[in-house]
Structure 1
Amino acid sequence: MTTADNVQEIDRRMNGRLFGLSWSHFLNDGAANYLPGILPAVLISLHEPVKMAGVLMAALMIGQALQPLMGWIADRVGGRSLIIIGLLSSSLGGALLGVAHYAWVFIGLLLLIGVGSSLFHPQALAVVRSMAQTRQGLTTSVFLVGGELGRGIWPTVASFVVVHHGISSLWIFAVPALITIPFLMRFAPKLPAKRTHGNPIHINEHLAPMSLLIGYTGLRALMTFGLVTFVPILWKVYGGTLVGGASIITTMLVIGVIGNLGGGHLADRFGRRPVLVISAFLSAVLIPVLAHVSGAWIWVIAAIVGIFLFLSASTTVLIGQDIFPENRSMGSGIALGFSNGIGAVLVLVIGLWVTDQNVLTVFWILAGAGLISALLGLLIPRSVVGRNA
C-alpha cells in the first residue's frame, strides 16, 4: 500500500468515526430535547398551568450545568465511557417520560436526561477536536450539526407520535440508541487519561475571558431555550395545533444547521469575533419579528433566526477550549453545558411570570438578551478570540 493509500485509509476511518459521533450526538440531543414539541400536551396530561412550562424546561436543562465537572472527570479518566453512559442515560430518560404520570416523577426523569447530556458532551467534543489536525472549526461544526438535527427533528416526530399513538409510545425513541451503543463501544476513539497530578487549572488567569464567554453563551442559551419553550405556547394561544407548533421549532433548529456549518467556516476564514457579534445581534433583531408575523412567514423567519442563532455555536466551543488549554473537556463544558444551565435558570424565572395573556412579552426579553450578548462578544479578549486554530 502506498503512502497516498495510507493517507486515504486514515481519512476514511476518521470521517467514519466523525459521522458515528455526529450520529450519536443526533440521538443524544434528540432524546434530550424533544420535550418542547409535546410541551402543551404534557401540561394538559399533568394538569399543570402554562407557568409550569418554564419549570419543566429548566429541569431538563439545569443538569447541563454539570458539564465543566464532567469535562474535568473526562480528561482524568480518558477513554470513551462517559460518551456511552451519557447517551444511554439521555435515551432511557427520554423513553420513560411517556409513563411518568406525576409531575415530580417527570421532573426527576428530566434531571436524569440533563445529567446524561452532561456526561456525553465534554468527552465527545474533546474526542472530535483530537481527531482534527486542521480546520477545527469545520470539524467541530460537523459534530455539532448532529446535535442540532436531533434537537430540530425530534420535537416534530415526538408530536406526531403523541398525536397518533399517545404519550406512552415515547419509549420507541430509546431503540436507535440501544442499537448504536455497541458500535460506539467498538469504534469510538479513546482519549488518553491525563496524569492525576497534571497541569494545574489557572482559574484566576482565565477568570475574565471565562466570565465573558459564560455571559455570551448563557444569554444565547436563554434565547434558544426561550424560543423552543414559548413558541409552541404562543402558537397554542393563537389556536394552533401541537404538530404545527413543533414544526416551527423543527424549522428553526434544522435550518440552523446552515448557520452552524457556515459559522465554523467563517470563523476559520475571517476570525471569531465577527461571527460572535453578527450571530447575537441579528438574532436579537429577528426574534420579535418571529413573534408578530403570521402565515407562512412564521416558518421563514424561524429558519432565518435558526441560522443566525447557531452561527456562533462551534466558535464558542473552541474559545472555551482555548481558554482552558490545560483541560479542553472542561473548557467545552463551560462553553456549552454550564452556560446552558444558566439559560435554563433564566427560562425558569421568566416562566414563573408567564401567562397566556403576556407570553408575547417574552420575545422582547429574549431580544434584549441578544443585544447584551452581542456587546459581550465585543469584549471577549483578543487573546482567545483572535485564534483561528
Structure 2
Amino acid sequence: MNLKRLITPKKLEIYLLSTGHLIHDIYTSFLSPVLPLLIEKFSLTYTLAAFLRLAMRIPSILNPFIGHIADGVGLKYFVALAPAITAIAMSLIGKAPNYLSIVILLIVAGLSSSFFHVPAPVILKRISGRKLGMSMSSFQIGGELARMIGPLIIVGAISLWDFAGIYRLMPLGIIISIILLLKLKDEKISLHRSKKYNFKETITKTLKQGKMLIFALLGVILIKSFTASVIAAFLPTYLTFKGYSLWMAGGALSILQAAAIIGVLLTGTISDMIGRKRLLIIVSFCSPLVMLLFLIGIKHALIPVVMLLGLISFSSTPVVLALIQENNFKYPSIANGIYMTISFLLSSFVVLFFGKISDMFGMEKAFFISGICSFIGLPLVFFIPGDKK
C-alpha cells in the first residue's frame, strides 16, 4: 500500500516540521536543567545565571530581518540546518571552560533557533487550510514535547557520561537536518520571491498595519513572561535549592512541559471554536492566579500545582501565532518576526529581573513578586481586535 495515499502531502509536511521543532527544541531545553550545575561550577549569582537565558535570546533582535529574508528570498536551507547547528552548540556546554564560552555557545544556538522558528509558521499557514489553529497546535506541541523530554534526556546523559560527556547527544540534530534538507530542497518557501522591497519600509508598514494587535499582545507577552518564562528558567534551580535532587528537579520540569502540551493542544483547537480573543482573555486572567498558587502548592502538592501551571500558563502561543497569521499581514514572516522579537526579549529581561530580585530578596519572594507583576499585562489583552469571520 502506498504511504502517500494514507498521508496527504500537507499532513506529511506538518508532521515533518513538528518533528523538526521537537528535535531542535530538545537541545534548547537543556539550559534550565543544567543551570544548577553551571551555578555551582562557576560560582554564579542568580543574575549571571539569568543572563545566560538572555544570551540565548539576544539573536532574536534579528527576527524581523530574518522574516524579511524569508518573505523576499526564502530560508528553507536555514530551517533545515538549524537543528544541527543548535545541537552542536548546546551539546558543547558541558565542555565549556568558562562563563564567556557558555555565553558564546548560547548566542550561536539562539541565532540558529531564530532561523528555524521565524519562517516555520508562515509555511504552516500555506498548508493548513481552515485548520490553522490545529496546525499551529501541532507545531507547538513539537516544541512543548521537546521541553518535556529534553530535561530527562540531559539529566540522563549527565548521569551516564557526566556533564562534560553530553557532546555525545549531537547526532540526533544532525540526522533531522539531513532529512529536512532532503524534503525541503524542492519546496518553495518564499511568499514574495521575485519582488524586491525595502526592509525599513516593510517593517514600518507591518507595524502600522498591526499596531493595535501588537499593542494588545504586549499584555499576553508580559503575563507569560512573569509566569511561564520565569518558571521554565528557574524551576530546577529552585527545587535543587529546596533540597531536591537534579533528577527530581528535571522531572518536575518535564511534568510542567507535559501539562503544557495538553494546554497547547486544547487552546489551539478550542480557539478555532470560541475565538482567539476570548480564549486569550481566559488564559491571561488565570495565569497570574496559578502562579501565586504555585508558592502555596509547592509545599504541599508539588506535582498537581506544577501540572496546573503548565496547563494554563504556557498555552497561549499557538493562539497568538494563529491570530497573527489571520491578520492578513502583507509580510507575514516579518509580522511573526516582530512578535517573536518582542516576546523573546521581553521574557528574557523579565527573567533577568527575576534573577536580580532573587539575589536581593531570595528566590521564594522573587516568585511572589513575579506573580504580582504578571497582572500588569491583563488590561492590554482586552484590546485584542475581534476575531475575523
| TM-score (normalised: structure 2) | 0.90
Alpha-carbon offset, residue 374 of structure 1: 2.9
Q: Identity over the aligned pairs, expressed in percent? A: 21
- Residue in 2 aligned with 1:15? 11
Query: Following TM superposition, where does structure 1 have runs of at least 4 consecutive aligned residues deviating by more than 4 angstroms?
Result: none
Structure 2 CA distance, aligned partners of 1:324 and 1:14?
Answer: 21
Map 1:102-117 → 2, pairs under 5 A: 102-117=98-113
Report whether the alignment pairs 1:373 with 2:377.
Answer: yes
- Residue in 2 aligned with 1:387? 388
- Residue in 2 aligned with 1:134? 130
Structure 2 CA distance, aligned partners of 1:74 and 1:10?
Answer: 31
Alpha-carbon offset, residue 356 of structure 1: 8.6
Structure 1 CA distance, aligned partners of 2:102 and 2:232?
Answer: 19
Structure 1 CA distance, aligned partners of 2:314 and 2:44?
Answer: 32
Deviation larger for 70-79 or 356-365 = 356-365
| Aligned residue among 90, 95, 104 for 2:91 | 95
Structure 1 CA distance, aligned partners of 2:300 and 2:360?
Answer: 23
CA gap of 1:338–1:172, structure 2 versus 1, over 3 A, is: farther
- Residue in 1 aligned with 2:144? 148
Structure 2 CA distance, aligned partners of 1:79 and 1:327?
Answer: 15
RMSD of aligned residue pairs (Cα, Å): 2.3
Report whether the alignment pairs 1:278 with 2:276.
Answer: no
Deviation larger for 228-237 or 264-273 = 228-237
Deviation larger for 45-54 or 17-26 = 45-54
- Residue in 2 aligned with 1:196? 195
1:194-243 CA distances to partner (integer Å, 9 max, x unpaired)? 13335963233322321322342244134222112222222122111112
Structure 1 CA distance, aligned partners of 2:156 and 2:183?
Answer: 33
Structure 2 CA distance, aligned partners of 1:295 and 1:165?
Answer: 33
Map 1:180-259 → 2, pairs under 5 A: 180-188=176-184, 189-194=187-192, 195-197=194-196, 201=202, 202=205, 203-259=207-263
Alpha-carbon offset, residue 150 of structure 1: 0.7
Paired residue secondary structure (1:191): coil
Between the two proteins, the alignment pairs up a number of residues equal to 380
Q: List runs of 5+ in structure 1 lacking aligned partners.
A: none
Letter in 1 for 2:89: G
Does the 8 Å CA contact 2:216/2:382 hold for their aligned counterparts? no
Alpha-carbon offset, residue 165 of structure 1: 2.0
Does the 8 Å CA contact 2:223/2:288 hold for their aligned counterparts? no
Structure 1 CA distance, aligned partners of 2:240 and 2:359?
Answer: 12
1:295-324 CA distances to partner (integer Å, 9 max, x unpaired)? 672111111111111322111112223446
Alpha-carbon offset, residue 353 of structure 1: 3.0
| TM-score (normalised: structure 1) | 0.90
Deviation larger for 88-97 or 351-360 = 351-360
Structure 2 CA distance, aligned partners of 1:85 and 1:337?
Answer: 21
Deviation larger for 266-275 or 39-48 = 39-48
- Residue in 1 aligned with 2:158? 162
- Residue in 2 aligned with 1:66? 62
Structure 2 CA distance, aligned partners of 1:310 and 1:50?
Answer: 23
Report whether the alignment pairs 1:349 with 2:348.
Answer: no
Structure 1 CA distance, aligned partners of 2:242 and 2:75?
Answer: 49
Letter in 2 for 1:246: G
Q: List runs of 5+ in structure 2 lacking aligned partners.
A: none
Letter in 1 for 2:158: V
